[in-house]
């Protein structure tokens, strides 16, 4: 018997599924649950696509690129990471904690490390769908192509470090705040980063003080790294990547230290 708090390792019983198979099964369940929640589909798929299509069509943004899509696509990809890693993961985990689901899962044969891995796998799977959908719309609908000097390594590093940063932040909120507070906080941060995170409005166009603050946030750094990686802007990606990674390490360590399972 277990109280759901002392499970740190698991030796499968004879005939039991190995940890990796149980983890994949839990990841598949996480994806099914996400697909059943209309609000999750709205924030992860509908809103990023709508923003990309709208702002790429009306040409009203004060961007410095030749075409709006060249500035927008990397920013919307950053927003997609935020929507999945922070909003979707954070809110869902917060309500699982509030309803006692995490406590029950903590006492299941699947170890807690496997549960966390399953959630991460689900986040990555959703982000891959977002990436494919947004790039396809940009390419087929607006003639977007990779720019000179594009680097797949930089893009993958940006997406990985961005996922770490915002998933860490989402789990930190989910594990320390009430579910209602996480819901409000995650949606508030989503809106804030949409406006001042270099997603649809260049940070250089913000008021001086606000722009200085925005440059320290992981959203703007993630968008900058993606623009460099996709060849939409020139520059060294090391600085933005280092900032996003620093946020990722900080938020993840805090989440590990402070997360409460019940």
Structure tokens at 253: 């360590």
pLDDT band at 62 (very low <50, low <70, confident <90, very high): low
Report the pLDDT averaged over residues 114-128.
89
pLDDT band at 128 (very low <50, low <70, confident <90, very high): very high
As a whole-number percent, the residues of the chain with pLDDT over 90 amount to 50
What per-residue confidence (pLDDT) applies to 184?
A: 95
Of 143, 129, 164, 151, nearest in space to 225 by CA: 151
Structure tokens at 189: 């941060």
Report the pLDDT averaged over residues 206-215.
87
Strand, coil or helix: what is 55? Answer: helix
Give the pLDDT confidence of 131-177 residue by residue, as tens digits. Answer: 999 999 999 999 999 988 889 999 999 999 999 999 999 999 999 99
Helices (H), the chain: 19-36, 38-41, 47-58, 68-82, 89-98, 101-106, 112-142, 152-176, 179-196, 208-214, 218-229, 238-258
pLDDT band at 14 (very low <50, low <70, confident <90, very high): very low
As a whole-number percent, the residues of the chain with pLDDT over 70 amount to 90
For residue 25, count other CB atoms closer than 10 A to its CB. 14
Interatomic CA distance for residues 223 and 208, integer angstroms = 19
> In the predicted model, is pLDDT for residue 54 greater than 80?
yes
At a CB cut-off of 8 Å and minimum separation 6, what does 245 contact?
161, 164, 165
What per-residue confidence (pLDDT) applies to 63?
A: 64
DSSP state of 203: G
């Amino acid at each position: 018997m277990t109280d759901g708090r002392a499970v740190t390792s698991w030796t499968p019983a004879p005939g039991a599924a190995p940890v990796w198979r149980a983890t994949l099964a839990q990841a598949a369940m996480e994806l099914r649950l996400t697909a059943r929640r209309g609000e999750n589909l709205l924030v992860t798929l509908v809103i990023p696509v709508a923003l990309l299509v709208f702002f790429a069509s009306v040409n009203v943004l004060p961007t410095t690129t030749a075409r709006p899509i060249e500035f927008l696509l990397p920013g919307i990809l950053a927003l997609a990471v935020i929507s999945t890693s922070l909003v979707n993961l954070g809110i869902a985990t917060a309500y699982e904690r509030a309803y006692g689901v995490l406590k029950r899962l903590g006492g299941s044969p699947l170890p807690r490390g496997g549960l966390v891995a399953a959630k991460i796998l689900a986040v990555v799977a959703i982000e891959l769908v977002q990436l494919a959908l947004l790039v396809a719309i940009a390419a087929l609908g607006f003639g977007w192509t990779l720019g000179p000097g594009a680097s797949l390594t930089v893009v993958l590093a940006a997406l990985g470090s961005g996922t770490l940063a915002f998933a860490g932040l989402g789990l930190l909120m989910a594990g320390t705040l009430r579910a209602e507070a996480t819901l409000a906080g995650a949606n508030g941060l989503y809106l804030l980063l949409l406006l001042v995170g270099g997603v649809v409005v260049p940070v250089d166009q913000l008021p001086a003080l606000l722009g200085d603050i925005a440059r320290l946030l992981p959203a703007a750094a993630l968008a900058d790294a993606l623009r460099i990686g996709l060849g939409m802007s020139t520059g060294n990606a090391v600085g933005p990547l280092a900032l996003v990674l620093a946020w990722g390490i900080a938020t993840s360590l805090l989440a590990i230290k402070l997360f409460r399972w019940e």
